[in-house]
């Protein structure tokens, strides 16, 4: 099995806490039943893409995210993303965790937004902030129309 052309296992992607999201393992530490992110809190960036373009975006985006060594997860398969878009988790195809430092966030946006522009994918629905009870939209960033973000006090919440 592969995740959008990417390998699974310790050097690839695997299911950890939630079968909806496939996590990129090389940057994570798994201690017993707990997952430790490289950062505990900070910016949380979502890539929201139209489901018809999701697989193509993943095939181009995931290798770029890996090269940046960014902590991230992706919804797999696309049919799960389609179901998510009918509920509170809409628009959260890829989730990236660049940490609390503005430089990490701007590096992520600076590297990925031009790639997403080049892919020319149709945007998906605007994600809503989970900690607000899905009442407040996440903030858009970049020119591609595919990136949204929030800041969180803990990646565990």
Kindly report the average pLDDT of the chain as a whole number.
94
Q: How far is CA 92 from CA 33, 58, 75, in A?
A: 24, 13, 8
Q: What is the pLDDT of residues 18-42, one digit of tens each?
A: 889 999 999 998 887 778 889 999 9
- Residues near 33 by Cβ (< 8 Å), separated by ≥ 6? none
Lowest-confidence pick of 2-16, 37-51, 83-97, 138-152: 2-16
Q: How far is CA 98 from CA 40, 62, 112, 135, 149, in A?
A: 10, 15, 12, 24, 11
Predicted TM-score (pTM) of the model is: 0.95
Helices 102-119 and 51-67, axial angle in degrees (round to 10): 130
Instruction: Write down how long the chain is.
Output: 157
Average pLDDT over residues 60-89: 96
- Tell me the H-state helices in the chain: 51-67, 78-84, 102-119
40-152 is classed in which CATH architecture? 2-Layer Sandwich (3.30)
Q: How far apart are CA 115 and CA 8, in angstroms?
A: 24
Tokens linked to 38: 């490289």
């Amino acid at each position: 099995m592969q995740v959008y052309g990417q390998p699974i296992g310790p050097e690839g992607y695997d299911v950890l806490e939630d079968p909806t999201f496939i996590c990129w393992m090389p940057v994570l530490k798994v201690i017993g039943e707990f997952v430790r992110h490289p950062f505990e809190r900070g910016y949380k960036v979502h890539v929201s893409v139209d489901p018809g373009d999701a697989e193509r975006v993943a095939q181009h985006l995931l290798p770029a995210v890996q090269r940046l060594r960014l902590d991230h997860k992706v919804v797999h398969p696309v049919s799960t993303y389609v179901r998510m878009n009918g509920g509170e988790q809409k628009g959260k195809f890829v989730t990236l965790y660049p940490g609390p430092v503005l430089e990490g966030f701007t590096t992520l946006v600076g590297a990925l937004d031009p790639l997403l522009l080049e892919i020319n994918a149709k945007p998906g629905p605007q994600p809503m902030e989970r900690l607000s009870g899905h009442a407040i939209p996440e903030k858009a960033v970049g020119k591609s129309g595919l990136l949204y973000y929030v800041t969180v006090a803990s990646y565990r919440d």
